[in-house]
């Protein structure tokens, strides 16, 4: 990804609270109207203080890294995730925090992927965006951007990073990135974390929840540079046909599958279905069982309709989201480990993505 780097002169005097790198990848937040007043186009980040004058009141040394060709989040790929991880690694020692402006549609996938790639992360990496462009009068872009920057900067001057993990800031809450999913397309509360509480609530003051935030690691940052996209998602539904399941599981190059089951991990017990799963597992396919429910937990073996899955070797995903599960599979497969080690990693809580 080619990018332009800009030093933005905020009100930060000789003793700034922190230094923050703002990475603009694309998305609704950075859109303004063109000269005709009819079409939304990406704005020039050299004008960010004109568009968001409140930034001049923040005591932060701010640098903007803007991709020369903004990406619609529907076009995000694993190559973009690996490049974002590389950018953070390249600038890690020079900034106290990072804010990534990103389209909302795939933000939960990107935040989940980055959480796995950035092992031993000791600084905040905050994704944010907007439902309404910054160029419109009534928007959520300004407050999301300003609050994300403030949280990323907190504790920087004292070396006390308050949120050393990958997160998403939206609509007055900071959520663990790999616990989120997008649930709204027409309201400001676009993201939900059904199985994990907020890390920060933004009211008159920023209210941090230290008991819910990952501890700062002792080891140095390790940035992984491999993801394997030979994965798929199979969402079960009443009446699903043998042909559909067979075609998906029969793909010769498939290495990992997220199986979206009912309730606490339940699935059909038809012989053809169980036989197809068993044959795929015997061929070495990794299958991760994830609930279709936004809240709750996969508990394989609780009912007979999930006991068969447990017995044949399907891995229970606990309370992981589909977004975190598919990117976790990509990450684990990218390590190119023996099957037993890969299965063990999938069962582990790597970055706070599951509750054990």
Which of 25, 28, 261, 322 does the annotation list as catalytic? 28
Domain limit, last residue, from 169, 195, 223: 223
185-196 per-position pLDDT tens digit: 888 889 999 999
Helix pair angle (107-117, 322-334), 10° resolution: 40
> Do 262 and 218 sit in the same domain of this protein?
no
Decide if 28 is catalytic.
Answer: yes
Residue 19 lies in a domain: yes
> Do 213 and 250 sit in the same domain of this protein?
no
Specify the pLDDT at position 67: 85
Question: What does the alpha-carbon distance between residue 99 and residue 151 come to, in Å, rounded to a whole number?
Answer: 9
Nearest to 186 by CA among 238, 131, 113: 131
Total tally of structural domains belonging to the chain: 2
Looking only at Cα atoms, what is the longest distance across the chain?
71
Q: Give the mean pLDDT per block of 10 residues along the chain (356 residues).
A: 67 73 84 60 67 78 87 94 97 96 96 98 96 76 91 76 95 97 88 96 94 96 98 97 96 94 95 97 97 92 86 96 98 97 98 94
Specify the pLDDT at position 57: 78
Residue 355 lies in a domain: no
Residue 292 Cα distances to 227, 234, 247, 258, 350, angstroms? 24, 11, 22, 11, 22
> Do 217 and 239 sit in the same domain of this protein?
no
Specify the pLDDT at position 344: 97
Domain limit, last residue, from 223, 255, 281: 223
214-233 per-position pLDDT tens digit: 999 999 999 999 999 999 99
Helix pair angle (304-312, 271-282), 10° resolution: 20
Residue 76 lies in a domain: yes
Specify the pLDDT at position 27: 81
Residue 352 lies in a domain: no
248-268 per-position pLDDT tens digit: 999 889 999 999 999 999 999
Residue 353 lies in a domain: no
Nearest to 333 by CA among 105, 15, 113, 49: 113
The CATH number of whichever domain residue 305 belongs to comes to 3.40.50.40
Q: Which domain holds residue 285?
A: 231-347
The answer to whether the beta carbons of residues 315 and 286 sit under 8 Å apart is: yes
> Do 274 and 326 sit in the same domain of this protein?
yes
């Amino acid at each position: 990804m080619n990018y332009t780097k800009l030093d933005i002169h905020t009100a930060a005097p000789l003793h700034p609270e922190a230094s923050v790198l703002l990475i603009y990848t694309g998305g609704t937040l950075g859109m303004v109207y063109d000269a005709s007043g009819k079409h939304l186009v990406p704005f020039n980040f050299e004008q960010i203080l004109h568009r968001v004058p409140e930034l001049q009141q923040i005591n932060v040394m701010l640098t903007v890294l803007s991709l020369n060709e903004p990406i619609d989040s529907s076009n995000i790929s694993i190559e973009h995730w690996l490049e974002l991880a590389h950018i953070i690694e390249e600038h890690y020692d020079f900034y106290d925090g990072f804010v990534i402006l990103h389209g909302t549609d795939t933000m939960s996938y990107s935040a989940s992927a980055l959480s796995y790639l950035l092992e031993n992360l000791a600084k905040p990496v905050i994704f944010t965006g907007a439902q309404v462009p910054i160029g419109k009068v009534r928007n959520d872009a300004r407050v999301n951007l300003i609050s994300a920057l403030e949280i990323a900067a907190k504790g920087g001057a004292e070396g006390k990073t308050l949120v050393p993990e990958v997160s998403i800031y939206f609509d007055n809450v900071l959520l663990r990135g790999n616990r989120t999913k997008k649930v709204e397309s027409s309201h400001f509360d676009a993201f939900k974390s059904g199985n994990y509480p907020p890390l920060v609530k933004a009211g008159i003051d920023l209210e941090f929840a230290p008991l819910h935030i990952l501890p700062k690691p002792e080891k140095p940052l390790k940035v992984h540079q491999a993801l394997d996209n030979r994965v798929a998602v199979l969402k079960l539904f009443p009446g699903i046909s043998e042909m559909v399941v067979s075609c998906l599981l029969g793909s010769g190059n498939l290495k990992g599958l997220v199986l979206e089951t009912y309730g606490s991990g339940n699935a059909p017990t038809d012989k053809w279905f169980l036989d197809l799963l068993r044959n795929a597992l015997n061929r070495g396919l990794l299958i991760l069982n994830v609930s279709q429910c936004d809240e709750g937990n996969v508990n394989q073996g609780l009912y007979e309709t999930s006991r068969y899955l447990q017995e044949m070797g399907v891995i229970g995903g606990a309370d992981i989201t589909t977004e975190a599960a598919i990117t976790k599979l990509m990450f684990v497969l990218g390590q190119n480990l023996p099957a037993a080690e890969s299965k063990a990693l999938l069962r582990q809580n790597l970055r706070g993505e599951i509750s054990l």
